[in-house]
Structure 1
Amino acid sequence: MQRKILFIINPIAGSGRALNYREKIADYLNGTDIKYEIVLTESSGHATEIAKATAFEDFDTVVAVGGDGTVKEVAKGLAFGDVRLGIMPAGTGNDAVKSLNISRNFEESMYSIIYGEEKLVDIGIAGENIFLNVLSVGFDAEVVKYTDMVKKHIKGKFAYYLGLIMAFTRYKNKELEIYAEEGRYKGGVLLAAIGNGNYYGGGFNILPLAEMNDGLLDVCIGNDMSKISIIRIFIELLKGVHLENREKVVYFRAKSVTIKPKDYIELNIDGEISLLKEELNVIIKRDALKIIV
């Protein structure tokens, strides 16, 4: 059967790096027997619309060319269907691919898209949103918020570092409830991450025990902390030893988790920020997406 692949490129991902892949993809595939099309997104949500439309075409694989936001949008369009998701990392963070062990090298990722194996993975559902990787609230969500503000003037990793500094100097611990069958947490938190994958924030292994096909959500809560404790916990996070800090970190697994903020709070879903003002139920759907790895 002849392969037919659709590449969905977010032209602004990675400060324009994704757009540069358009010519490289064509050069790589021209002369092969693989049929392909390349489409550029035009607005937020456009990648989902394009991916959904492939249900009426004969594409066997749709490739998200961009960062975590692009991957999330394409995954939303392909979830619970037969068309497979391919990922070509071209964003700033690219956290989802770390959990899937997908290379950021162009040639290696193209090879995987063409010759890789199909893997069934779970997806998280939070209200009307889905996520492939991690949903979070608290400090890290505010880092993303400030980074997005800085990106209007400064591009690349430096924008993230400035966003981190801004969040650190202005952050106040959030009051909320998080509960599941496995237990309940109520009080102030630095952050709370609920995930299907391991990494977020540009490479922090926040959920080291998570597996993307085990039918469970992993939950990590950093409780109420001083500024000094925040520095210490992030050092532990960088070293991958934060779960050993039983005084400051709560970790458990569940099939369903509910977040109830005392007031509004920033919500980070695979790198995209919105405001959470009321109770949110988060569930996991097993084997909901086919991915080429």
Structure 2
Amino acid sequence: MSLQPAAGSAVATAQQAGAGTIETKLPAAGRALLIVNRHARSGAEQADAAAKALAEAGLEAQAFDPPEGMSCAEAVSTGLAQGGFDRVVIGGGDGTLNAAIPGLLEAGLPFGIMPLGTANDLARSLGIPFELDGAAQVIATAAPRPVDLGEVNGHPYFNVASIGFSAELATELKAEAKKRWGKLGYGVAALGLVRRARPFTATLIHDGRTERVRTIQVSVGNGRHYGGGMTVSEEARPDDGLLDVYSLEVRHWWRLVALLPWLRRGTQGSWRDVRAFRTTGLELRTRRPRPVNTDGELTTHTPAVFRLRPAALRVFAPAEGGT
């Protein structure tokens, strides 16, 4: 069930204006602060390769190796204190990028992505190559593009926040399993959980309406991809000024299995037991507190208030990214 925005609504305005009002210029080869999450799936062995790729692309890259216990946001601020940088490069996966958001917001510099994680969903959404040489070329030559942020209860995120099945999956998918099995880890954990999935009652408040639903999962997407290649909506983009929401209102676990091809393509909204709509803000309430999964990390609980932060950051990415 797809809800279309009314003319003159906040959603319609966002669709017309988008987030592309920030003026961007082609960057000259510059000096990059490089922060690599050595705990990411391929971080430790790829840290030196990332620095070499940036140098070969024409950038002066200075690595900052944060001490144990320092957050990625703190690493950005501490590394930039040395001065003279015109961009920040984060090497890691989606969790690392999310952790860096407060530091990137404070810095105000454009950032680049060296995809070294398990899923690399933001890189996929932006059309950034997974190969280090290709990613480095993008950081050195592409114009920085504005990118939106989603936010739930004050916690910003790039890709998707979910309540229900995927939050339970994040609980069961331990970091060591992700590092050892990669994308296969998602599938193994999901198979063990899917037959135990049970609907819960949620109240969705958005765009002047209140909807009470029985659902297995509610996902609120800022970006396009999540969970190792699943798609929140075939129309979603991380710079379109909109949140894409879907609710899986299936009664039996086998319907969830049947939905998988549609979930990968982002066309699940065409199913009668999937509620899908676009908005710029949402409040979600449940009978008891439920964890919220933001890009693979459990960061808060319901009740959850979602909002969009349009064009909050700038990222080096191809002009026409996303797959």
Output the TM-score relative to the length of structure 2: 0.82
Bigger relative CO (Cα 8 Å, ≥ 6 apart): 2
Aligned length: 289
1:8 corresponding residue in structure 2:
35
1:282 corresponding residue in structure 2:
306
Query: Equivalents in 2 of 1:91, 1:31: separation in Å?
Result: 22
Query: Equivalents in 1 of 2:231, 2:66: separation in Å?
Result: 30
Residue 201 of structure 1, aligned match among 227, 241, 255: 227
User: RMSD in angstroms over aligned alpha carbons?
Assistant: 2.4
2:74 corresponding residue in structure 1:
49
CA shift digits 1:106-144 (9 cap, x unpaired): 110011111111101111121231011111111122222
Query: Equivalents in 2 of 1:204, 1:32: separation in Å?
Result: 31
2:10 corresponding residue in structure 1:
none
Note if contact 1:143-1:166 (Cα within 8 Å) is conserved in structure 2.
Answer: no
Per the alignment, do residues 153 and 115 of structure 1 end up closer, same or farther by CA in structure 2, a change over 3 Å counting? Answer: closer
Unaligned runs of 5+ in 1: none
Note if contact 2:33-2:64 (Cα within 8 Å) is conserved in structure 1.
Answer: yes
Match of 1:97, as an amino acid?
A
Partner of 2:64: helix, strand, or coil?
strand
Note if contact 2:178-2:186 (Cα within 8 Å) is conserved in structure 1.
Answer: no
Query: Equivalents in 2 of 1:88, 1:65: separation in Å?
Result: 5
Residue 74 of structure 1, aligned match among 100, 118, 125: 100
Structure 1 residue 8 displacement after superposition: 1.0
2:5 corresponding residue in structure 1:
none
Query: Equivalents in 2 of 1:156, 1:32: separation in Å?
Result: 28
Unaligned runs of 5+ in 2: 1-27, 318-323
Per the alignment, do residues 251 and 131 of structure 1 end up closer, same or farther by CA in structure 2, a change over 3 Å counting? Answer: same
Query: Equivalents in 2 of 1:43, 1:170: separation in Å?
Result: 37
Query: Equivalents in 2 of 1:289, 1:280: separation in Å?
Result: 23
Note if contact 2:147-2:315 (Cα within 8 Å) is conserved in structure 1.
Answer: yes
Note if contact 1:7-1:39 (Cα within 8 Å) is conserved in structure 2.
Answer: yes
Partner of 1:170: helix, strand, or coil?
coil
Match of 2:160, as an amino acid?
V
Match of 1:280, as an amino acid?
A
Partner of 2:187: helix, strand, or coil?
helix
1:28-43 map, 5 Å? 28-29=53-54, 34-42=59-67
Is 1:267 matched with 2:292? Answer: yes
Query: Equivalents in 2 of 1:280, 1:44: separation in Å?
Result: 28
Is 1:64 matched with 2:90? Answer: yes
Structure 1 residue 156 displacement after superposition: 2.2
CA shift digits 1:123-174 (9 cap, x unpaired): 1121231011111111122222211277289532332222111221322222
Per the alignment, do residues 111 and 28 of structure 1 end up closer, same or farther by CA in structure 2, a change over 3 Å counting? Answer: same
Is 1:94 matched with 2:108? Answer: no
Output the TM-score relative to the length of structure 1: 0.89
Per the alignment, do residues 44 and 216 of structure 1 end up closer, same or farther by CA in structure 2, a change over 3 Å counting? Answer: farther
